Amino acid sequence: MSTKKSTLQIATKDNRSRNKPQLWFLLTIMILIISVSGSLADWLPLPDTGQTKCYDTNNLVIPCPESGTPLSGQDAQYKGVTPEYLDNGNKTITDQLSGLVWIKSSKNLQYTWQDAISYCNELVFANQTDWRLPGKFELESIIDYGKFLPANNQIFDCEESFYWSSTIHTGNPEYAWSVFCNDGADHWVHKSNKYYVRCVRTGQ
């Protein structure tokens, strides 16, 4: 009887041990869902990307396919809310959909990733001190993907180079995400490189 009890205790302990990774995995997923949901809530309604053309598998422009046909459901076939920007007259721009306040110009501001973080965090501009380096999604939100050279909304200036985001590359923390202003494409680049900076703050 005692042998069976000991065996049962060991088996129960083993099952608990095997369940621990599963519980941690589920908790991690729940945290990610909650955090993503919280960030998306501040972005509703999402701005339109500006993409107006449809493409085939050879990247050639085609008439947008009808619903239910091959290649249908492209970005250009979904219309979001038109972005709205307000020039505050103090060299800052307010995105009236997200509430983000951007510094309009980025001229002569090239830093490594860590220096870009520090620059924005320590910046005092337009009587505000809560500036920060934007996340990848935030930086892409001012891109107009229907334009090229430059691709960002024309209310902002655009240097022909990369702009840093605060988002670190998950697979390699020595790299961080950036957005190329000419075409709006995102790239992960080494943090030691020097690229342009456009600081942002959360408006009131």
Answer yes or no: is 15 within a domain. no
Band of the pLDDT at 102, cuts 50, 70, 90? Answer: very high
Residue type, 79: K
User: Per-residue pLDDT averaged across 163-178, rounded?
Assistant: 95
User: Are residues 151 and 76 both part of a single domain?
Assistant: no
User: Are residues 61 and 90 both part of a single domain?
Assistant: no
Whether this model's pTM surpasses 0.75: no
User: Are residues 114 and 150 both part of a single domain?
Assistant: yes
Range of the domain at 66: 47-82
| pLDDT (tens digit per residue) in 32-76 | 333 333 343 355 566 777 777 888 989 899 999 888 899 988 877
| pLDDT (tens digit per residue) in 79-91 | 777 788 999 999 9
User: Are residues 162 and 116 both part of a single domain?
Assistant: yes
User: Per-residue pLDDT averaged across 98-116, rounded?
Assistant: 90
Band of the pLDDT at 27, cuts 50, 70, 90? Answer: very low
CATH number reported for the structural domain that contains residue 110 in this entry: 3.10.100.10
| pLDDT (tens digit per residue) in 110-169 | 999 999 999 999 999 999 999 999 999 899 888 887 777 777 777 888 888 899 999 999
Query: What letters, b where the CB count within 10 A reaches 16 and e where it falls short, cover 183-201?
Result: ebebebbebebebbbbbbb
User: Are residues 108 and 153 both part of a single domain?
Assistant: yes
The domain total for the chain is 2
